[in-house]
Amino acid sequence: MIVDSLDYTDDLIPHYQSLSALPGFVLLESGDKQRGRYDILAAYPYDTFKVLRNTSLPLNDVFDELQSRLSMIACKGYSELPFQGGAIGYIAYDFGEMLAGLPSRPHHCNDMPLIDMQFYDWAIVVDHHLKCIHLLSVNSKDETAAIVLEIRARWEAKTTRKNVFKLNETFMPLLHKDDYREAFDSIYAILKAGRAYQVNYTQPFLAHHSGDTWELYKRIRLKNPVPYAAYMRRQEGHILSFSPERFISMEKGRVVTSPIKGTVKRSANVKIDNQLQTLLKTSSKNRAENVMIVDLLRNDLSKISKPGSVQVTSLCEVQSFKAVHHLVSHIEAQSLDTVTALNAFLACFPGGSITGAPKREAMHVINEHEPFARGVYCGSIAYFSAHGRVDSNIAIRTITAKEETLYLSAGGGIVIDSQWEDEYSECFTKLTAIVNALS
């Protein structure tokens, strides 16, 4: 593997933009540089692994094939870089429903794969903490050297040109308010009957646009910096994710997950904003929601971890973002020696913060009550590095752009002391950071 250096600057978007139209372009960005550290950029994938919605492949074959592809690129790490060639892509929430044996539901982007992993032989890795940039090439493919020369030339010829983008109408809910209340009442009855303790119920929105979605990504990430953002150009559509939530990371057997559960809007008035933050921190309801998911994830991690190694390192800490305050917890574990990064990922997929508890039963309730499949939303955007490291987000605050239509969803956890008006309002609160960037 060859690792070269590029000059670091505080504003890297002009450099990223010079590469953004390339085939298979992907950017994993830590816009929030305190909670995140690295940006990873790649394009020109040399291979792809996709699982379509109508696949007839048995699940074991899907797992074996993806693990085989990842094993073929396995190598020892040459440095501390988080990504050293490998796979970058997404696994849709709907694949989790497939794992659970749930019936498929209609989706507005039915030709979007359930799994779309692209394999890259080179990458640009930005370390915001050390303020350095690495251009690495694994050189396992004959064409890699020529690609890297092109990438360096494009990087140096950075561009600040604004692309054309226009939102032709604002995001409109696809679920009527009365239908939301009816679904809430039904889920509430399920909770009272003891079938589940918490159910994460979501609703979809859509808007129409014209122009380049890269310009949309630039606008939103500027006003909404988060640690786990992503932009992906895929053949079937573009993915724009502004997620504050880590799903699973694993390196040298250390597994970390950081669920978010508990949200309150922010205020421009400092005094009111501090009051809202305190309200979130002292809310017994939000804390109970968070603790439920922490227990769920402790159970998920215990399946692939050494006995006694699962630890809650932080419980219900408040993290503040541009538009919202969140309650965040952190759970760590040491994996069994036989566990691969893919094993750890799938043992916890989909993330408990976007299902509810118990996970399997909450997923059944979601499948029964949400009229549309979730797609990439509530799935995960991830990288699997050749040296065994994985990191991933929960794909919330995530837009799927297809044929000049933007699809976006939002939701929240319903528990026994939830009020439907509050839960309905919270959906719109979670869209604030994105919608405000477009106004």
**384-399 pLDDT, tens digit each:** 999 999 999 999 999 9
Is there a contact between 350 and 93 (Cβ–Cβ < 8 Å)? Answer: yes
The stretches of 18-142 forming alpha helices (DSSP H) are 59-72, 93-99
Among the residues of 268-410, which ranges form H helices? Answer: 270-282, 284-302, 341-348, 359-369
Please answer whether residues 187 and 355 qualify as being in contact, where contact means their C-beta atoms are separated by less than 8 angstroms: no
Statement: residue 174 has pLDDT above 80: yes
Round the average pLDDT of the chain to a whole number and report it: 93
pLDDT value of residue 439: 65
pLDDT of residue 197: 95
pLDDT score recorded for residue 387: 92
Residue whose pair of structure tokens reads 């603790």 in the numeric block: 291
Per-residue pLDDT at 325: 93
Task: Express as a percent the part of the chain with pLDDT over 70.
Answer: 99
Return the pLDDT at 76: 73
- The residue-averaged pLDDT of 51-66 equals 86
Q: What is the mean pLDDT of residues 301-310?
A: 97
In this predicted structure, what is the pLDDT of residue 59?
Answer: 84
pLDDT tens-digit series, residues 311-332:
999 999 999 998 899 999 999 9
pLDDT of 365: 98
Residue 78 pLDDT grade (very low, low, confident, very high; cuts 50, 70, 90): low
pLDDT per position as a tens digit, 408-433: 999 999 999 999 999 999 899 888 87
Active site residues: 245, 261
Per DSSP bridges, beta strands 380-385 and 324-334 are unpaired
Which pLDDT band, with edges at 50, 70 and 90, does 60 fall under? Answer: confident
Q: What is the mean pLDDT of residues 209-213?
A: 93
The answer to whether the CB of 433 falls within 8 A of the CB of 220 is yes
**Exposure class string for 318-332: b at 16+ Cβ within 10 A, else e:** ebebbbbbbbbbbbb
Would you state the structure tokens that stand for residue 245, as one six-digit string? Answer: 């939530």
pLDDT of residue 433: 74
What is the predicted pLDDT for the residue at 169? 87
Query: Looking at the predicted structure, is the pLDDT value of residue 121 above 90?
Result: yes
pLDDT band at 158 (very low <50, low <70, confident <90, very high): confident
**What gap in Å lies between CA 180 and CA 273, rounded to an integer?**
29
Strands (DSSP E) contained in 92-235 are 115-120, 122-127, 132-137, 165-167, 172-173, 198-211, 228-234
Between CA 438 and CA 219 the distance in angstroms is 7
Q: Under a CB-based contact definition with an 8 Å cutoff, are residues 132 and 8 in contact?
A: yes
Q: Please give the model's pTM, rounded to 2 decimal places.
A: 0.95
Parse the chain into domains and list their residue ranges: 2-438
Q: What's the CA gap between 13 and 178, in Å, rounded?
A: 43
Shortest CA distance to 137 belongs to which of 88, 89, 84, 87? 84
Tokens 């992993």 belong to residue = 117
CATH class of 2-438: alpha beta
Selection from 187, 183, 166 nearest residue 174 by Cα:
183
The string of DSSP codes covering 213-271 is HHHHHHHHHHHS--TEEEEEEETTEEEEEEE--EEEEEETTEEEE--EEEEEE--SSHH
Here the tokens at position 23 are 């085939």
Burial 187-221 (b: 16+ CB within 10 A, else e): bbebbeeeebbbbbbbbbbbbebeebbbbbbbebb
Buried (b) or exposed (e) across 249-283, using 16+ Cβ within 10 A?
A: bbbebebbbbbbbbbbbbeeeeeebeebbeebbeb
pLDDT at position 48: 95
Q: For the segment 332-356, what is each residue's pLDDT rounded down to a tens digit?
A: 999 999 999 999 999 999 999 999 9
